[in-house]
Amino acid sequence: MITLITGGSGSGKSAYAEKYICHASNEKGYKEKYYIATMQVFDDEGQRKIDRHRRLRAGKGFITIEQPRDIQNAVSKLQSESSLKTGQSALLECMSNLVANEMFPPVDASCIQAAEAEKEALDDPENMKDYDTAQISRVSKKVLKEVSILSENVAELVIVTNNVFEDGVCYDESTMNYIKAMGIVNRGLAAMAERVVEVVAGIPVAVK
């Protein structure tokens, strides 16, 4: 079963997601409860956010898996293979970080050179549009496929995602591509999910 929980920044979606999965796991008697973290730390603000989330889930019995990208690899880190689908639940948080990590992975010198060569080959603006479209499609398909694989290996999967579509600000092209990819991913997850909840000012509102 998949439950998708969405909301804006600071809406209370993380706290609700943890409360929801803890209740479901206790009620259904799941043996293990996983927290699959996708955030990478780049600055002090990011570290403070991670520390806050750790405090939120302290003492709740989560087994933490750090998986900033390639989310299907989290499957190999799940314990008790004999209880797959019947004894495990997982909270995946969050999709905005996962999609960003997939679209903008760490680069080394060889990656930079390859990217520069690719940009030169795509100097025509029309070609660049094709490249952007292909990147958005590739990332969104990869993320949705790997989340589907993860969901097949746990009894219950709760996914936290972000509403990044309503600020009315025009961003640079790469950020707009990211927002487009998030839109595709969120729609795909909502279609896959049995339950969709939007958290508004700490209040869960059932959408599906």
Active site members = 53
Q: Is 187 annotated as a binding residue?
A: no
Alpha carbons 165 and 179: distance in angstroms, whole number: 7
Nearest CA to 89 out of 67, 107, 62 is that of: 62
CB-CB contact of 7 with 64 (8 Å): no
Q: Is 102 annotated as a binding residue?
A: no
Q: Is 13 annotated as a binding residue?
A: yes
Q: Is 10 annotated as a binding residue?
A: yes
Q: Is 87 annotated as a binding residue?
A: no
Nearest CA to 144 out of 111, 93, 192, 74 is that of: 192
Q: Is 9 annotated as a binding residue?
A: yes
Q: Which residues pair with 157 in a beta bridge?
A: 2, 90
Angle between the N-to-C axes of helices 125-151 and 95-103, in degrees from 0 to 180, rounded to the nearest 10: 130
Q: Is 188 annotated as a binding residue?
A: no
Those residues whose C-beta lies under 8 Å from the C-beta of residue 171, and which sit 6 or more positions away, are: 179
Q: Is 57 annotated as a binding residue?
A: yes
Binding residues for GTP: 7-14, 54-57, 66, 93
Residues tagged in the binding site annotation:
7-14, 54-57, 66, 93
